[in-house]
């Protein structure tokens, strides 16, 4: 149920993002979802890719600092209030959303959002008990 995400730490300067994309393209790694957050000096690029281990290795081989994190892909009703419902369930169980970002494809007519929660196992249990679909990494990469 968990999805592996890689995080790449980048200097905030022109061309660094293009370098990451080029390294992954050359290694035939497909980016399925991404998020980029920045500060004045550096950025954190978070990626869901079709081959996490290979991506991590080729990026390290090309001088990038890379980490791996577990996140959850959640189907969210693609209608007003869909996200609100998920967030209400988390709030009701005192689970904090550390960050989230949207996925570019839909699953069965629903939106897919990638979440990082402070209590990952508890979040999975609460989502399941609430009847909310959690997607496997393979399912996300197959969309």
CATH code at position 90: 3.30.2130.10
Pairing of strands 31-38, 42-49: antiparallel
Domain range for 90: 71-142
* Sign of the CA dihedral with 58 first, then 59, 63, and 65 last: negative
Find out whether 135 and 74 touch, Cβ atoms under 8 Å: yes
Whether residue 13 has pLDDT greater than 80 = yes
Q: Give this prediction's pTM.
A: 0.86
Q: Do 82 and 61 share a domain, yes or no?
A: no
What are the tens digits of pLDDT across the range 107-118?
677 888 999 999
Q: Which of 28-32, 75-79, 82-86 has the lowest average pLDDT? A: 75-79
Count of beta carbons in the 10 Å neighbourhood of residue 124: 17
**What's the structural domain count of the chain?**
2
Residues 56 and 84 in one domain: no
Classify residue 40 by its DSSP letter: S
Whether 62 and 76 share a structural domain = no
> Do 12 and 47 have their domain in common?
yes
Which of 32, 50, 70 represents a domain boundary (last residue)? 70
Claim to verify: residue 23 and residue 51 sit in the same structural domain: yes
Beta strands in 77-124 (DSSP E): 97-107, 110-117
Express each pLDDT in 36-54 by its tens digit. Answer: 988 778 899 999 999 999 9
């Amino acid at each position: 149920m968990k999805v592996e995400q890689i995080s790449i730490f980048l200097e905030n300067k022109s061309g660094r993002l293009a370098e990451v994309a080029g390294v992954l393209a050359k290694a035939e790694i497909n980016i399925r979802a991404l998020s980029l957050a920045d500060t004045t000096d550096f950025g954190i690029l978070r990626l869901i890719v079709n081959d996490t281990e290979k991506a991590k290795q080729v990026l390290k081989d090309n001088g990038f600092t890379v980490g791996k994190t577990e996140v959850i892909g959640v189907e969210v009703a693609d209608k007003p209030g869909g996200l609100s419902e998920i967030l209400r369930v988390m709030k009701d169980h005192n689970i904090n959303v550390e960050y989230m970002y949207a996925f570019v494809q839909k699953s069965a007519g629903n939106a897919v959002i990638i979440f990082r929660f402070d209590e990952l196992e508890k979040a999975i249990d609460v989502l399941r008990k609430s009847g909310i679909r959690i997607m496997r990494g393979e399912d996300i990469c197959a969309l």
